[in-house]
Structure 1
Amino acid sequence: MDRSTPPRTDGKPLDPRPLAVAILDISFEVRRKSHEGTGVLPLSSGVLDVIRVIERHPGITVAEVAARLGRQLSNVSSQLRELVALGLVTRERDAADKRYVALHPTPESVRIKTVLEGAWAAALATAGDRLDDDDRNRLAAALPALERLAAALAEPGQD
Structure 2
Amino acid sequence: MASVDPLEQQTRPEAHRDLAVAILDVSFEVRRKSHEGTGVLPLSSGLLDIVRVIERHPGITVAEVAARLGRQLSNVSAQLRELVALGLVTRTRDAADKRYVVLHPTPEALRIRNVLEEAWAEALASASSRLLPAERAQIAASLPALERLASILAEPE
Report whether the alignment pairs 1:114 with 2:114.
yes
Structure 2's unaligned 5+ residue stretches are none
1:3 is matched with: none
* 1:130 partner SS: coil
Q: Output one character per residue of 1:52-97: Cα deviation in whole Å (capped at 9) or x when no partner.
A: 0000000000000000000000110011001100110001113564
Give the superposition deviation at 1:17: 0.2
Q: Distance in 1 between matches of 2:155 and 2:139?
A: 24
- The AA in structure 1 aligned to 2:31 is R
TM-score (norm 1): 0.90
Sort the Cα spacing of 1:151 and 1:97 in 2 relative to 1 into closer, same or farther, 3 A: closer
Q: Output one character per residue of 1:98-131: Cα deviation in whole Å (capped at 9) or x when no partner.
A: 3300100000000000000000000100100110
* 1:10 partner SS: helix
Report whether the alignment pairs 1:10 with 2:16.
no
Structure in which a larger fraction of residues adopt helix: 2
2:101 is matched with: 101
Structure 1 runs (4+) deviating above 6 angstroms are none
Per chain length, whose mean CA-contact separation is higher, i.e. which structure has more relative contact order (CA < 8 Å, sep 6+)?
2
1:29 is matched with: 29
Q: Distance in 2 between matches of 1:41 and 1:116?
A: 11
Structure 1's unaligned 5+ residue stretches are 1-7
- The AA in structure 1 aligned to 2:147 is E
Give the superposition deviation at 1:156: 1.5
Give the superposition deviation at 1:10: 2.5
- The AA in structure 2 aligned to 1:10 is L
